[in-house]
Amino acid sequence: MRNETLRLILLLLLCSHLHSVLSWKKEEFRTCHQTPFCKRARSRAPGSSSLIATDVTISHGDLTAKLTPKHDSQSETKPLLLTLSVYQRGILRLKIDEDPSLSPPKKRFEVPDVIVSEFPSTKLWLPKISSVENGLSSSVYLSDGHSAVLRHDPFELFIRDDSSGDRVISLNSHDLFDFEQLKHKSEDDNWEEQFRSHTDRRPYGPQSISFDVSFYGADFVYGIPERAASLALKPTRGPNVDESEPYRLFNLDVFEYIHDSPFGLYGSIPFMVSHGKARGSSGFFWLNAAEMQIDVLAPGWDAESGIALPSHRIDTFWMSEAGVVDAFFFIGPNPKDVLRQYTAVTGTPAMPQLFSIAYHQCRWNYRDEEDVEHVDSKFDELDIPYDVLWLDIEHTDGKRYFTWDRALFPHPEEMQRKLASKGRHMVTIVDPHIKRDENFHLHKEASQKGYYVKDASGNDFDGWCWPGSSSYPDTLNPEIRSWWADKFSYQSYEGSTPSLYIWNDMNEPSVFNGPEVTMPRDVTHYGGVEHRELHNAYGYYFHMATANGLLKRGEGNDRPFVLSRALFAGSQRYGAVWTGDNTADWDHLRVSIPMVLTLGLTGMSFSGADIGGFFGNPEPELLVRWYQLGAYYPFFRAHAHHDTKRREPWLFGERNTELIKDAIHVRYALLPYFYTLFREANTTGVPVVRPLWMEFPSDEATFSNDETFMVGSSILVQGIYTERAKHASVYLPGKQSWYDLRTGAVYKGGVTHKLEVTEESIPAFQRAGTIIARKDRFRRSSTQMANDPYTLVVALNSSQAAEGELYIDDGSSFNFLQGGYIHRRFIFSNGKLTSIDLAPASSSKGRYPSDAFIERIILLGHAPSSKNALIEPSNQKVDIELGPLWVLRARAPAVTTIRRPNVRVAEDWTITVI
């Protein structure tokens, strides 16, 4: 009887626990209505601001003007300063701030260290202003074919396409601009704000900014991560729209986030991209790290104004709690141009180490050294490659980062060396909350040096996180970043070795007992900056400091790998991110694609979702589907919550182990292709994984498709997002055909195919007219595959032609920046495959030396008449015969294959089919 009761109680406890786990605690977070600046801004009507531009002139190569109120009644309002600057590639920058010569109470915060140092030197020195419409507007040159126009009354800024006279993008066309200027507090002012049990003292009072931005020739807008929602942003206000929250940008640790919500998650990139059939793409970026709320307005939202809407225009409304206007406009017109323009400002993604784009095995937690050894050896036993084993918070001594629980991990160096001997790496977690323990050297040092963020009373801010009472280093300060970076040296981080890399979690920052589970807004940082002004970039500076630590540790010649949960514009320069604590269900599998695509569209190419879902236990079928999809994420890691059942690839029966292994094999085979794409992202900003419309910009059928995506320009992937799927409808864009990656079967482009689906794989296709490089021998890790031979898969199009690229370097150092790499273009036409050198002729370090050769060339779509191929310059003949499309797969279909051409990948050659 007592046992029964006990069991009942346990069951009840378990249920109540489960219940709390399975619900998003909505009431813990503010809505727009509960956020005074958002509520105020949203209630304003068009035509309410009426600022006029005066004193328009050229100064230091910029256009400058004053913005003054039209009506004298607003006598309190001082003129604002407006500056317009023009940069190469068609980039327009607008700054609006209070006039320092009128001595505002405080300097408003401008986010440092996001704009790359090269950018200012691309400024075009504006020679003159042209007067338009009889002096009612002023215009300046922006690029060949585009001007920037400033209308004076009321002020409005727009970019004009000079040939058509059409607008591209504009600001304040609806006269919603509002800028709350800082004031000296008078006795009657009560600036405090309450949310739940928290008081925000708001010592500087209201200081929000809001305005409208319109995109022309646009059918959809995209971007502004991070949230779990569709790729194309749905309207949040207007006729026929269920009044919803605006899209929120506020970095938060949202426990159990739901899969379809405008609510902001861990990161913020205030960058929006538009796309439409009429014009192509344009972009708008607001460099501001305070809380932001953005409405996408449905056509007719301003119906009262009686103005007929031009079609294909999308209006948006931007609101921020603090900061200045520092906004960038990008003219596109191709989607890839917008990425080039945006990353000219915020930087292209760092080139990752090769190992970090392979498969990562993680869980909270691998318990001890024995557990690590067991998991590691199981991969070997089953011939499943993997590159990185991860340790979560439990590996530390009481959540003191940079330490080890010596009972569980007595020999960390030896453990890492064992992994390294198989070419594998380890990642440990280092979070920003530092345990307030006088015996912890890091805390002692940080508190003595005054390196912590300060609370509103000027003491070290003390918040609750994993270790209990914690403080947070103020990494906005470059000196503190440098101090933090030094903590990653081998001397300082005991038990670390060169094969150890880092993971930054909880850096939104997460504060369990803070308002909305984060830091209070009236906490202060370096230079008197309020947390409200900086919030969305806190995690960015922490990520930066950590990446710099690994750079220092490696003496500048080992590329850092740091995974971060929080992110901001520019995070792409410091490492990878993941989509945080998702859930093991089909909806989360599905939403991972728009999330990863959105991050890529906003510069953050290196991202992925936790394979399997962090919370909960995936059914084996879901887990297998997740591996099959995740094998195409730029960042490919399995991870799981502490309370979930173990789910290493071999725990679901032999068949599922085979399926998971096969999915991982696909990724390893495609590593040369992925690595080439990472280099493309590194040089151009164009993401590894792309929405279809980035490759097919005039095909409307692709604009809101976020179930299908492109990996580079050559592979299309369709996830399977439902249980026991037997069929899938897949739209294959373009005029050319597509080859099934697995079977080589050919499908027509420009139509939706109803395909049969098996458990073996998700639909994936190679585009006709492309060549991709693979490595088909599997070893323990990517590192061990370095010298393995290549397979080229030539997918011919209707003109029996194809093209592709391959980039190779040492996979780890910075020698590639001095020319230490191989970059080839393969061209197949008129029956001849040619390898052309794309690397510049000379370089100080010399080419990356590789003896690797090409062991197999597969010709898809080739008329099967030829028997031989002639290799030049060696003048050798090799056979053409039928061979398997995938060597390691039983029942792989036979395809036309040039066997053993054995040409070197680093050399020039041609192979002619005869």
Ligand X SMILES: *[C@@H]1O[C@H](CO)[C@@H](O)[C@H](O)[C@H]1NC(C)=O
Residue 585 in the binding site for ligand X (CB under 6 A)? no
Is 894 in contact with 882 (CB distance < 8 Å)? yes
Using CB atoms within 10 A of its CB, is residue 420 exposed (0-12), middle (13-18) or buried (19+)? middle
Those residues whose C-beta lies under 8 Å from the C-beta of residue 876, and which sit 6 or more positions away, are 870
Is 39 in contact with 141 (CB distance < 8 Å)? no
Q: How many residues bind ligand X (CB under 6 A)?
A: 15
Q: Which long-range contacts (CB under 8 A, 24 or more apart) does 618-623 make?
A: 618/584, 618/647, 619/723, 620/652, 620/653, 620/656, 621/723, 621/724, 621/759, 622/584, 622/585, 622/586, 622/589, 622/723, 623/584, 623/647, 623/652, 623/656, 623/660
d(CA 217, CA 315) in angstroms, rounded, equals 12
Residue 769 in the binding site for ligand X (CB under 6 A)? yes
Which residues 130-189 are close enough to bind ligand X by CB under 6 A? none
Report the phi/psi class of residue 861: left, alpha or beta, with left for phi > 0 and alpha for psi in -120 to 50: left
Min CB(447)–ligand X separation in Å: 34
Residue 818 in the binding site for ligand X (CB under 6 A)? no
d(CA 746, CA 750) in angstroms, rounded, equals 13
Min CB(477)–ligand X separation in Å: 23
Helix (H, G, I), strand (E, B) or coil at 200: strand
Helix (H, G, I), strand (E, B) or coil at 682: helix
Min CB(686)–ligand X separation in Å: 12
Interface stretch with ligand X, choices 229-237, 517-525, 801-809, 838-846 (CB under 6 A): 801-809
Residue 803 in the binding site for ligand X (CB under 6 A)? yes
Of 132, 139, 115, the C-alpha closest to 65 is 139
Tell me whether residue 79 or residue 831 sits nearer to ligand X (CB atom). 831
Measured from the Cβ of residue 489, the count of other Cβ atoms closer than 10 Å reads 12
Tell me whether residue 801 or residue 839 sits nearer to ligand X (CB atom). 801
Helix (H, G, I), strand (E, B) or coil at 744: coil
Tell me whether residue 337 or residue 508 sits nearer to ligand X (CB atom). 337
Tell me whether residue 499 or residue 713 sits nearer to ligand X (CB atom). 713
Is 28 in contact with 254 (CB distance < 8 Å)? no
Min CB(425)–ligand X separation in Å: 17
Which residues 541-580 are close enough to bind ligand X by CB under 6 A? 559
Residue 210 in the binding site for ligand X (CB under 6 A)? no
Min CB(817)–ligand X separation in Å: 6
Tell me whether residue 506 or residue 860 sits nearer to ligand X (CB atom). 860
Query: How would you label 502-528 residue by residue, b for 16+ Cβ within 10 Å and e otherwise?
Result: bbbbbbbbbbeebbbbbbbbbbbbbee
Residue 389 has which token pair?
A: 């084993």
Q: Of 35, 208, 348, 702, which one interacts with ligand X (CB under 6 A)?
A: 348
Is 153 in contact with 133 (CB distance < 8 Å)? no
Min CB(336)–ligand X separation in Å: 15
Interface stretch with ligand X, choices 131-139, 343-351, 595-603, 780-788 (CB under 6 A): 343-351
Min CB(426)–ligand X separation in Å: 21
Helix (H, G, I), strand (E, B) or coil at 837: strand
Q: Of 797, 813, 815, 835, which one interacts with ligand X (CB under 6 A)?
A: 797
Tell me whether residue 672 or residue 769 sits nearer to ligand X (CB atom). 769
Cα 242 to Cα 237, 245, 297: the distances in Å are: 7, 10, 12
Is 54 in contact with 66 (CB distance < 8 Å)? yes
Range list of β-strands (E), 291-358: 292-297, 313-320, 325-330
Interface stretch with ligand X, choices 331-339, 444-452, 501-509, 791-799 (CB under 6 A): 791-799
Tell me whether residue 608 or residue 811 sits nearer to ligand X (CB atom). 811
Helix (H, G, I), strand (E, B) or coil at 619: coil
Interface stretch with ligand X, choices 67-75, 637-645, 793-801, 847-855 (CB under 6 A): 793-801
What positions carry a catalytic annotation?
A: 505, 508, 581
* DSSP per-residue letters across 425-454: EEEEE--S-EE--TT-HHHHHHHHHT-B-B
Interface stretch with ligand X, choices 530-538, 620-628, 642-650, 792-800 (CB under 6 A): 792-800
Ranked by CB distance to ligand X, the top (closest) residue is 769
Q: Of 798, 818, 830, 876, which one interacts with ligand X (CB under 6 A)?
A: 798
Min CB(222)–ligand X separation in Å: 24
Those residues whose C-beta lies under 8 Å from the C-beta of residue 670, and which sit 6 or more positions away, are 711, 715, 772, 774
Of 331, 316, 341, the C-alpha closest to 163 is 331
Interface stretch with ligand X, choices 103-111, 215-223, 292-300, 346-354 (CB under 6 A): 346-354
The neighbouring-strand residues paired with 444 are none
Which residues 657-696 are close enough to bind ligand X by CB under 6 A? 682-683
Query: How would you label 235-261 residue by residue, b for 16+ Cβ within 10 Å and e otherwise?
Result: bbbbeebeeebbbbbbbbbbebbbbeb
Tell me whether residue 332 or residue 769 sits nearer to ligand X (CB atom). 769
d(CA 158, CA 53) in angstroms, rounded, equals 14
Interface stretch with ligand X, choices 348-356, 588-596, 622-630, 864-872 (CB under 6 A): 348-356
Is 581 in contact with 614 (CB distance < 8 Å)? yes
Which residues 895-914 are close enough to bind ligand X by CB under 6 A? none
Min CB(119)–ligand X separation in Å: 13
Tell me whether residue 503 or residue 606 sits nearer to ligand X (CB atom). 606
Tell me whether residue 458 or residue 840 sits nearer to ligand X (CB atom). 840
Degrees to nearest 5, angle at CA 667 with 661 and 672: 145
Residue 500 in the binding site for ligand X (CB under 6 A)? no
Q: At what angle do helices 620-630 and 586-601 cross, to 10 degrees?
A: 10
Residue 351 in the binding site for ligand X (CB under 6 A)? yes
Interface stretch with ligand X, choices 345-353, 539-547, 661-669, 873-881 (CB under 6 A): 345-353
Residue 699 in the binding site for ligand X (CB under 6 A)? no
Residue 682 has which token pair?
A: 């590194």
Residue 802 in the binding site for ligand X (CB under 6 A)? yes
d(CA 472, CA 488) in angstroms, rounded, equals 17
d(CA 759, CA 651) in angstroms, rounded, equals 17
- Percentage helix, strand, coil, to 5, in the chain? 25, 30, 45
Interface stretch with ligand X, choices 132-140, 390-398, 639-647, 796-804 (CB under 6 A): 796-804
Residue 350 in the binding site for ligand X (CB under 6 A)? yes
Min CB(670)–ligand X separation in Å: 19
Tell me whether residue 781 or residue 815 sits nearer to ligand X (CB atom). 815
Tell me whether residue 598 or residue 797 sits nearer to ligand X (CB atom). 797
Tell me whether residue 392 or residue 809 sits nearer to ligand X (CB atom). 809
Min CB(117)–ligand X separation in Å: 11
Min CB(118)–ligand X separation in Å: 9
d(CA 498, CA 490) in angstroms, rounded, equals 8
Q: Of 736, 781, 791, 815, which one interacts with ligand X (CB under 6 A)?
A: 736
Min CB(811)–ligand X separation in Å: 12
Q: Name the site residues for ligand X (rule: CB under 6 A).
A: 348, 350-351, 559, 682-683, 736, 769, 797-799, 801-803, 817
